[in-house]
Amino acid sequence: MRVKICGITKPDQGNAIAKLGATALGFISVPSSPRYVTSAQIRSIVENLQVSVDRIGVFANSNIEDICQIVDEANLSAVQLHGSESIEFCTQLRQFLPKIEIIKALRVKTPESLKEADTYASYVDTLLLDAYHPQQLGGTGITLDWKTLEKFHPRYPWFLAGGLTPSNILDALKLLQPTGIDLSSGVERYPGDKDLDKVALLLERVRFLNQ
């Protein structure tokens, strides 16, 4: 199972989390976010890594030129689109970044929101399902209603996000079968400052479940 820890801002924490066993690190390229990092900051974190992991830049309603520039400058391996990006946008981005994984995040407000998942599946590599918040795009700590996802069995990879913590991760994974999980606020002291003890506990519990 892929385990993505998002909102990394510090080189030492990024390296420690990778060494603990996370398979992906997420970097927020949304200037309004309290976890925002520049491409130069991402690069300094990436260059400090002693373990190979996926390096995912998170964008929201950015233009293609800016995304491509940050991917190149920061040496990213994936792009996560967390805004209202259209299928047409995803298609165009694929043309510019043919070797980069494209992840489309969808905020699930009602069971009907999952219809979007089928729509995007043919145009991106991976989906990410997050909790809906009327003002914030992500990192809210709000838990998805997992019951709405019990019949969600797509043919493509997907991350479960939204209010996951070391305390509730086993309950979530007993109900659902995502190919990956994505955590940010659930393993933090405050936005951008990760709690390594919580990350270690999370990874220990995921490994226990997968035994």
Residues identified as active-site: 6, 130
User: What are the DSSP calls for 73-95, one per residue?
Assistant: HHT-SEEEE-S---HHHHHHHHH
Q: How far lies 97's CA from each of 21, 55, 65, 105, 121, in Å?
A: 27, 15, 11, 18, 17
Would you say 128 and 105 are in contact if contact means Cβ atoms under 8 Å apart? yes
Nearest to 188 by CA among 41, 27, 58, 8: 8
Distance (Å, whole) CA 35 – CA 147: 29
